[in-house]
Structure 1
Amino acid sequence: MMDQVSTTAQARASPSSDAHCPRPSGASSQQGLPRNGRARLKKQAFRVATLNIGTLTGRGRELADLLRRRRVHVASLQETRWKGAKAKELGDGYKLLYNGGVSGRNGVGVVICEELKDKVVDVQRCSDRLMLVKLDMQESLVNIVSAYAPQAGCSSEDKADFWQLLDAVMQSVSADEQVLVLGDLNGHLGMARTGYERGHGGYAIGNQEGEDVLAFALAYDLALTNTYFKKKVDHLATYSSGGIKTQIDFCLVRRTQLSLVTNAKVIP
């Protein structure tokens, strides 16, 4: 039984259509997550991952094997390109909950390991770019948000709609519940963090864009965990184009829970 958040999500992304490199992991914690002042439970790692998979068609078994080898408990998927709102067993005890539009574009999902299947108490399929899965971990409710922000070429209306919907999802989560926002947020971050020191750890690569991502983190007092650990470029970058490597995939947690995160990195 999981009693803590460990976000050493050590998974890599499969090749995707938009030149994505390996995805970043989540975060790892070695402490209990008490709720309402209850005593801490026994320490236990909880590994999460996020990856833009390009398409999930024909790759379910490969994904399950990857997650098993990396000992990932929960994974957030983007660009599954599957239609409908369903659940599917992937193998090795992993179960996928997913949501996609009628066009077969975009699509998001959350993969749960066998030990956590009976911990799912709520699933909110908000759009083909956003969904939430709530887990009852006995001493804490943990909300897993899988997010896939519109790409640079999408309309400003699409981008605004996404962030407004993500705002609504965050506002629906009680302040005493844990939340992990995992996904491809398509916002390039750089080393500069003036005005965002509370959520930006200072270790990032990018082109000084990503204002929407930083504003979102600031609004909900979230920390971008993969900017808090000094890593080699290959363990930071999640996007590559024209020889330039940047960061667009993130794992965000409440700033008050950042001390529970022991590692966050991209696995090449």
Structure 2
Amino acid sequence: GTGVVGVLVKEEICEKVVEVRRKSDRVKRVVLAFEEEVVRVICGYGPQSGRGIAEKEQFFDEMASEWDLQKVDELVLGMGDFNGHVGIQGFEDVHGGSGIELRNMEGRMLLEFCDEKELCVANMCIRKTVKEGDFLCRRE
């Protein structure tokens, strides 16, 4: 099946939420207004590796259309599970090379999206609970 993106907001800042927009099951926007800053959070849940290329392209098109709506005075954060492996080889100005060994198609699509939008991949959680090559990684 397909997943649906969700957003968690800490109770203390719920009153700062001024807009929630569901672009699709996979892309959602939440806008928060603080005293001196407007923060637009774009959350995505990318199609898994077994899904078709058209679905993956549609996902990145939806992410791009949300990203392009940003206003000059807004701080914009993009986050989510993009279901891609960006690999250990770098990608200039986007990814420094900390990732799982092999880059897959979904990881390449994410890196290309970030390159186009002048973004970088940061704060990846790459801990795995399955056997990866010769290494068994587990939750701690």
What range describes the TM-score normalised by the shorter chain of this pair? 0.7 to 0.9
Relative to 1, partners in 2 of residues 1:180 and 1:150: Cα closer, same or farther, differing over 3 Å? same
1:58 — aligned with what?
A: none
Unmatched 5+ stretches in structure 2: 134-138
Relative to 1, partners in 2 of residues 1:206 and 1:183: Cα closer, same or farther, differing over 3 Å? farther
Q: CA RMSD in A?
A: 2.1
CA distance in 2, matches of 1:204, 1:221: 20
Relative to 1, partners in 2 of residues 1:179 and 1:239: Cα closer, same or farther, differing over 3 Å? farther
Query: What TM-score do you get using the length of structure 2 for normalisation?
Result: 0.84
1:200 — aligned with what?
A: 95
Unmatched 5+ stretches in structure 1: 1-103, 228-235, 246-266
Relative to 1, partners in 2 of residues 1:111 and 1:150: Cα closer, same or farther, differing over 3 Å? same
Letter in 1 for 2:95: H
Q: 1:1-268 maps to which residues of 2 (within 5 A)?
A: 105-193=2-90, 196-209=91-104, 210-226=107-123, 236-241=125-130, 243-244=131-132, 268=140
The structure richer in strand per residue is 1
The structure richer in helix per residue is 2
CA distance in 1, matches of 2:30, 2:94: 23
> 1 or 2 for the larger relative contact order (CA 8 Å, sep ≥6)?
1
CA distance in 1, matches of 2:100, 2:53: 24
**Post-superposition CA distance 1:211-252 (Å, at most 9, x none):** 11101111111121126xxxxxxxx524444x118xxxxxxx
| Alignment check: 8 A CA contact 1:108 1:131 kept | yes
Relative to 1, partners in 2 of residues 1:128 and 1:239: Cα closer, same or farther, differing over 3 Å? farther
CA distance in 2, matches of 1:130, 1:157: 16
CA distance in 1, matches of 2:2, 2:97: 34
Relative to 1, partners in 2 of residues 1:216 and 1:240: Cα closer, same or farther, differing over 3 Å? farther
| Alignment check: 8 A CA contact 1:201 1:225 kept | no
Q: CA deviation at 1:105?
A: 4.4
| Alignment check: 8 A CA contact 2:85 2:99 kept | no
CA distance in 2, matches of 1:244, 1:185: 19
Q: CA deviation at 1:200?
A: 1.1
Number of residue pairs the alignment of both structures matches: 133
Relative to 1, partners in 2 of residues 1:220 and 1:121: Cα closer, same or farther, differing over 3 Å? same
Query: What TM-score do you get using the length of structure 1 for normalisation?
Result: 0.46
Q: CA deviation at 1:197?
A: 2.2
**Post-superposition CA distance 1:61-93 (Å, at most 9, x none):** xxxxxxxxxxxxxxxxxxxxxxxxxxxxxxxxx
| Alignment check: 8 A CA contact 2:42 2:63 kept | no
**Post-superposition CA distance 1:162-197 (Å, at most 9, x none):** 11111101001124311221111011111211xx32
| Alignment check: 8 A CA contact 2:89 2:97 kept | yes
